[in-house]
Structure 1
Amino acid sequence: MRQLLIITLALFSISCLADDDNRRLISTNGYGEIKASADTAIIDLSIRATRKSGQDAKQEVDDRFNNFLDQLQSMSIDRKDVIASTLRVYPRYEHSNGSRHFSGYEAIRTLSVTLHKLDQLTHVMDQALAQKLEGIDNIRYESSLAEEYRMKAHQQAIEDSKLKAAALAKAYGAELGPIVRIDYHRNTPMYASKMQDGMESAQMLRAASSRPGTYLPDELTYSDNIQVVFDLIINP
C-alpha cells in the first residue's frame, strides 16, 4: 500500500511538471523615464587637522566648523540643511630609514550642506575655503519634486509593460492571462554636473581669479524598470 502511494505521488509530481513545461508565458520589460531640472545642490565637505594631541586636533576642526556654520547662518541657510555628525581621530606616523615615528593625531570631520538656491553654491564653497575646510569632496544635484518624478516614471513603466505585453499577444493571436510574476528593482536618479573649467582641487580654487566659477547641472533623469510575466491564452 505504501509503495502504491509513493508511485501515485511520483506520477502526480511528473504531471504537474509537465503542465508547467507546457505553460505558455509572455515576459515584457516596462520602462519609464522623466527628465527634470535640478533645483537643489548637496555639497560634501571635510575638515582635517593634525596636532600633537587628539584633543587639540579635535578642537581645531570644531573651531573651523563653527566659524563656517556662522557664515552659513549669515547666508540664511537653515541648520537643518547642515549635517555634521561624524568625527574621526587617529594617530599619524611617518616612516623613514625603516623606522616609524609618531607625528601627531589627525582629526577629520565630514559634513554636507543642502542648498535650495543654486546661486549660493559658489559663495558657500568660497566660504568653506576661507574657513580652511580644505576638502570639497563632492557636489550632488537633486530636485525638490524628486518623489513625484519617481512615481511618474514608475507609473510609466507599469503602463509600458502592459502595452507591450498586450500588443505582442495580439500580434500572435492570443490574449493576456493573469500575472505570473513581477520583478522590480527601483532605480536611482542619474545626473551629471558641468563645471566651467572642470573639477579643480582646493588649492587651485584658492588661487583662482576673482571671477566666480559657473556650475551648470545637467538634467536629472528619473527612470524605472519593471519585468512582468503574464500567462498567455491561446485562442482556439
Structure 2
Amino acid sequence: MNKAKIAALSSIIAASIFCALPAQADDKKPSAYGTLNVVGIGEYEAAPDEAVLNFQISAQEATASAARDKVEAGVSAFLKELSALKLPEGAVIAETLSVSPRFNYKDGKSELAGYQGSRMVSVTLADFTKIGEVTDLAFKSGINEVAGFSYQLKDPKAAQKKARELAIADAKAKAQELADGFEVKLLGPKTMSFELNQGVIMPRTMLMAASMDNSAGSRADYTVDEITIKAQVSVTYNFKAKHE
C-alpha cells in the first residue's frame, strides 16, 4: 500500500473517532428532562335527597296462571295504596312479571312441583318520613320481600364536579411539592386519567328479605348518612432541570 493511500485511510479513521466522541459523551450525560407521576384524590360529602325502595312479591302455586294471578293481585293492591300518596310521576316503577316452573329432583329424575311467579316494584321517595309508611303499605298489600333500599342524589353532577376539582387540586399540589423538593421545573401534564365513584349508600338499618310477619307497627328507624363522592385523577407531568 503506498503512502498516499495510508495517509487517506488514517485521515478517515481519525475523522470517525473525532465524530463519535461527542456522541459518546452525550450518551453519558444525564438528561435534563423527565417525567413524574402523581395521583390526586378528591372527596366531597353531600346529603342524599332520594331514597329508593325495591319491593318484590313472590308466589308459588300449582299452575302458572295461579302464580301469575296471585302476584298481579298483590302488585295491583300495592299500586292502589301508593296512589293515595300522590307521588310524582315516575316515582313508582313495576317491573315485568316473571313466572317459571319449579321442579323436585329424586333418584336422578325431575318432577314438576308447581310454578313460581315474582314481580319487583321500585319506589323513589324525596320525603324520607314516608319510608315506613310505604313499607307498611307494601306488606299490607301482599308484598313479601324488601329486596333493596338505598339513598342517593337526584342530580349528582354538582357533587361530582366538586370531587373532581378537589382531585385536580390535590394532584397539582403533589406535583409541585415533588418538583420543589427535587429542584426541577414542571412543564405541564403529559397524560391524564380519571376515575369517579358515584356515591350511593345503604342505610344502617335495613329490611332485607322481610316477611309478612314484619307488618305495620314494626317500622324501623333509618339513619341517613351523607354520601361521599370520590374522584381520582392520575397525571404524568413533564419536567426539566431548573437551570436548563
Mapped to 1, the partners of 2:177 and 2:60 lie a distance apart of: 66
For the pair shown, the structure with the greater C-alpha radius of gyration is 2
Q: Does 1:210 align with 2:217?
A: yes
Contact 2:149/2:202 (<8 A) preserved: no
Q: TM-score, normalised by structure 1?
A: 0.81
SS of the residue corresponding to residue 194 of structure 1 reads coil
> Unaligned regions of 5+ residues in structure 2, if any?
1-26
1:136-215 map, 5 Å? 136-195=146-205, 199=207, 201-203=209-211, 206-207=213-214, 210=217, 212-215=219-222
Bigger CA drift: 208-217 or 62-71?
208-217
Mapped to 2, the partners of 1:148 and 1:187 lie a distance apart of: 14
Counterpart code for 1:169:
A
Q: CA RMSD in A?
A: 2.3
Bigger CA drift: 26-35 or 186-195?
186-195
Cα offset for 1:188?
Answer: 2.4
Contact 2:35/2:239 (<8 A) preserved: yes
SS of the residue corresponding to residue 193 of structure 1 reads coil
Which residue of 219, 224, 240 maps to 1:233? 240
Q: Tell me which residue corresponds to 1:10.
A: none
Mapped to 2, the partners of 1:229 and 1:98 lie a distance apart of: 61
Cα displacement string for residues 149-193 of structure 1 (whole angstroms, at most 9, x for unaligned residues)? 111101111121112112211222111113211122222215342
The total of aligned residue pairs comes to: 214
Q: TM-score, normalised by structure 2?
A: 0.79
Counterpart code for 2:162:
K
Mapped to 1, the partners of 2:98 and 2:88 lie a distance apart of: 25
Mapped to 2, the partners of 1:146 and 1:104 lie a distance apart of: 45
Which residue of 214, 220, 233 maps to 2:227? 220
Counterpart code for 1:37:
A
Bigger CA drift: 85-94 or 218-227?
85-94
Contact 2:148/2:208 (<8 A) preserved: no
Q: Tell me which residue corresponds to 2:12.
A: none
Contact 1:129/1:202 (<8 A) preserved: no
Q: In structure 2, do the counterparts of structure 1 residues 190 and 165 end up closer, same or farther at CA, with 3 Å as the change threshold?
A: farther
Contact 2:38/2:236 (<8 A) preserved: yes
Cα offset for 1:97?
Answer: 5.9
> Unaligned regions of 5+ residues in structure 1, if any?
1-17
Cα offset for 1:96?
Answer: 4.6
Contact 1:189/1:220 (<8 A) preserved: yes
- Could you tell me the percent identity over the aligned residues? 24
Mapped to 1, the partners of 2:76 and 2:202 lie a distance apart of: 31
Cα offset for 1:217?
Answer: 2.2
Which residue of 94, 100, 103 maps to 2:113? 103
Contact 2:186/2:239 (<8 A) preserved: yes
Cα displacement string for residues 28-54 of structure 1 (whole angstroms, at most 9, x for unaligned residues)? 111111112222110111111222332
